[in-house]
Amino acid sequence: MKTISLKKVSAVAVASLGFGLLSVVPAQASAADVVSIYASKYSVGSNFTATFPGTSAAVSSGGTAVTLVSGTFTSTAVDAGKAIYNVSTTGGYIGTIATVTSATAITLAAGATSALAAGSTGLAASLVIGTPVTTVTPATIINADGISGMTATGGSAAAVMVKLSNPEGTATTAKVRYIIDNAGVMGTSPAIPAAATTAFVPFTVPSTAGTYTGKLQYSVAGTFLGTAADQIEIGFTLTVTAATTLSTSLSTAYMTAPSAGGASASSTTNGVARSAYKTANTGISQVKVTLLKADGTAETAAHTVTATVSGAGFVSVDVTADTPGTPATRTATNSAGASVRYVHINSDGTAGSGTVTVSVTHAVTAVTTTLGTFSYTSYDDVTALAVSTTNFSVGKSGSATTTGASVAARTVAGNALGALDTSGNLTQPAFIVKATDSAGRAVNTVLAPSVVSLTSPAVATGGTCTKDDGALPTTASSSTNGVGFYNCNFVTAASSKSGDKATLTIRVTDPADATKYISTTFDITVGSSTVSTEVLSLDKIAYAPGEAMVVTRTAKDSSSNPVADGTASPAVSFSKAVGGTAPAAGFYRLGTSASSTSAATASVFAPTVPGAFSALATTGATGGATITSSASVTDANAGLLTQIDALNAKIVALNALIAKIMKKLGVK
């Protein structure tokens, strides 16, 4: 084994191989002994983490596309732009991540080392991802890629990749360490095999910002005895920048459902009202708290998240989503070293409204900042039922037909299908029932209300109600949170005929007395789905150019009763071009199908050309005749001429009057 002393060293340098590089060149060595550099100006700062877990992190690649056989990348947002290193004693800088296409596949930027880019597999579990940080290039070095120092964030994990030229030592004896004059040993490499030319030195960056003078020391025996025969060293400066810390303005807190979807809580779920039954420790909702640094990255310092209840409710705070707990407390805290915390809001055994205030207290400054205030309710037993919305009430005669849908999940498309769609896609209920407690709060009943026909079973046999699930968007649902609203249908009897009437009873067992019911009623009539007479009408006989119009189709059956709800209505066309959208085919409700509810909500507008025009449709009655309705558009210019003529007549009459007065006065 060669003996290395400081006197034999003609030059030394630190060059970057992903992290940092120490080139130790004995005096007798030639230029050919200097090992080539893989990359320049790289070191490891924050997020120095082993992100390829397992006993081996086998990697395969083609060109610069890399797919992991095992292990995962943290995320596309975090890992893109970072560098991959093999921290084994024979490894080094592999390449920089250009893009992350999935949790197991990346594309490396140009310049990746051939060891990986050529398709190597079976690398040891020593691959890490590091964030390249600022490095300092010395004025005079052996290799232009060398660095004499690095810049890293205070408190972060960091490392220096030291490259050795013509190293000494036997297998597993030599080591390299990084030592700072006023802070002691920062980190030491694993023992370096005799054939190795690199050494990896991980360490934790001091938390206090400033410039630290230090050195990289290479020991042949790995004992760092300080003798010239054993070790060699080179200065290596560490510049520490202040760590980015908690930003309360970027941090978020969003409320969502108590047992599912906590990780995906957002401003959308935050806007949904939350409530649950009053039984103690029943989950009402949860709040996802995400702590971020000023640069938008996750803040994992042990800041304290506090949740405080005002009014009804209990809370707990932890790091696990979708797990309503059983805390008997009005205030809860959590100081885990995690970016995401969850506030679980539960009933406390009483019915009423409550508010939870969520705040964070900085671990260092002790400053407390409110992140959000969240309101909710807990409800009591049902005391009343009421039909809150009526969509369809005219059933189909002569057959056992279901009118409307009784489904949990409503959709915009399903709501547009009318009352009699048989494709299974209909979601609009015939009517909606709301259940409330003694304080008028919406409540869920033990069982969904039943629909029975107590007085007219020959007209209607009953129906079904299903609790609305409150699915977003709320424009398609009966409720905003899946509490208290039931989507119901009804079924006409095969013996029913046009003109029949029935009163349906909607009821639930009274929680206070199981022998009684809480109920409400819903009146229906019956009509045929066969159109006998159909009329097309406009809301005016004369329109100004481009004026809003309401187009109405009316249909009756052979008994002169409104046709069954859901019976098809025809599309409407016009003899002249109109504005907006001509009414498309639709369906009848209470025997009427209108283009809009009023002129203020109109979707079709009168022609702009003056004169007569007609609305036309093909009736659904036997024979399919064309039905029409006529109107006209006034000529604005004609009206102006009429006004001018009237004004001229007034001027002539006034002149005559003036002449008569002047004559009487003898004025010439």
Put simply, whether the predicted model's pTM sits higher than 0.95 gets the answer no
What's 533-633's CATH class?
A: mainly beta
In DSSP terms, 612 is beta-bridged to 632
pLDDT of amino acid 475: 77
Query: Which helix (H) or strand (E) covers residue 218, if one does?
Result: strand 214-219
pLDDT of amino acid 241: 83
Q: What whole-number distance in Å separates Cα of residue 166 and Cα of residue 177?
A: 18
Map tokens 């509810």 to a residue. Answer: 597
pLDDT of amino acid 231: 65
pLDDT of amino acid 201: 80
pLDDT of amino acid 31: 29
For the record, the structure tokens of 595 come out as 């283009």
pLDDT of amino acid 366: 93
Buried b (16+ CB within 10 A) or exposed e, 189-198: bbbbbeebbb
Collapsing DSSP states into helix, strand and coil, what is residue 210? strand
pLDDT of amino acid 480: 84
| Domain 6-241 is found in CATH 2.60.40.10 | yes
Q: What whole-number distance in Å separates Cα of residue 444 and Cα of residue 435?
A: 7
Cβ proximity of 334 and 341 under 8 Å? yes
What's 246-379's CATH class?
A: mainly beta
pLDDT of amino acid 472: 64
Mean pLDDT by 10 residues, the chain (668 residues): 26 31 33 27 44 40 51 56 63 67 68 48 54 50 55 78 62 80 87 71 85 85 69 79 88 95 92 94 96 88 96 96 89 95 97 98 94 97 98 96 96 92 92 98 97 97 96 80 96 97 98 97 97 97 96 97 97 97 96 96 96 96 93 80 80 86 77
- Nearest CA among 240, 182, 232 for reference residue 13: 232
Q: What is the DSSP letter of 442?
A: B
How many CB atoms sit inside 10 A of residue 609's CB?
A: 11
Contacts of 524 (CB under 8 A, 6+ apart): 393, 394, 395, 459, 460, 490, 492, 501, 502, 503, 504
